[in-house]
Amino acid sequence: MDSTLLSIGPAAWLLLAVLLLTAGLVSALLLARSPWAVLAAGARAVLQLAVVALLISQLAGHPAAAAAFVLLMFSVASFTAGRRVTTGRRGLLMAVPIAAGVLPVLGLMLASGVLPLSALALIAVAGQLIGGAMTASTLAGRRLLGELQQRSGEVEAALALGFPDPEARMLILRPVAGEALIPALDQTRTVGLVTLPGAFVGLILGGASPVDAALVQLLVLVALLAVEALAIAVVLFGCTHGWWRPQAPAARGSGAAERKTHWLKRPARASRA
């Protein structure tokens, strides 16, 4: 079978295997990560794409089934982000920033009529928005919790000066929160110069005019920017209010380290006594 973009055949499967093995070897030899994680990710991708392709082919004309599939995507994204950011049940709270980013933007697209009530369109657009929110929430959560852990002394100093817990944490976290938005910003800034996104190329190959294809791609990119900005803002709020907490550094033979990082173990409060 041939494609207008890539030639699909035995050579493609061979190349896929070679690239996957290369990524696994580089991860093992240079990045100190298990090669099996890379191979397992590739195998899962093949299986999942095959299953999803079969499902989507059956969902055309069934908006309710498409909505259920979008809910499944949202659940998997929330679980994945939560597992990357923290452990235990608190990881479930990662569903909040993802929903806070996706729901308003998706609602606006549906209300304006830009996104039709079509099963395939809903799955395609919602999947991109959920994926962007998941990535941004994961990056923001890991970065902000790491910052809290590394700069716990500065937070403690702010608490000693009388700042409420959320404000003390915000002093540390707000300047670095925006770093999680950098990938989306760079993708938008360089579109057409560094990359030609799939939606744009697909529309051009499908016969759409360049202007229409560019407008559709621009809508997707700007929607992703809005989704990720909202998600990061909610992650910032959650980290300052103790939704997720970094692990306190281990004590070194005395109670000093325990006293220094006691704020890591308690929920944020509105003010100090």
Question: 262 or 64: whose pLDDT is higher?
Answer: 64
Whether the CA torsion 155, 158, 162, 166 is positive or negative: it is negative
pLDDT band for 258, please (50, 70, 90 cuts): very low
pLDDT reported for residue 121: 86
The whole-number average pLDDT for the span 81-106 is 92
Plot region of 246 (φ>0 → left; ψ -120 to 50 → alpha; else → beta): beta
pLDDT reported for residue 266: 54
Statement: residue 48 has pLDDT above 90: no
pLDDT reported for residue 120: 84
pLDDT reported for residue 99: 97
Lowest mean pLDDT among 15-24, 55-64, 186-195: 55-64
The whole-number average pLDDT for the span 167-171 is 89
pLDDT reported for residue 32: 81
Structure tokens at 244: 């997720």
pLDDT reported for residue 269: 53
Question: 230 or 201: whose pLDDT is higher?
Answer: 230
- Residues across the chain: 273
Domain spans of the chain, in order of start: 1-59, 63-265
Mean pLDDT value across the chain: 83
The whole-number average pLDDT for the span 177-193 is 88
Plot region of 88 (φ>0 → left; ψ -120 to 50 → alpha; else → beta): left
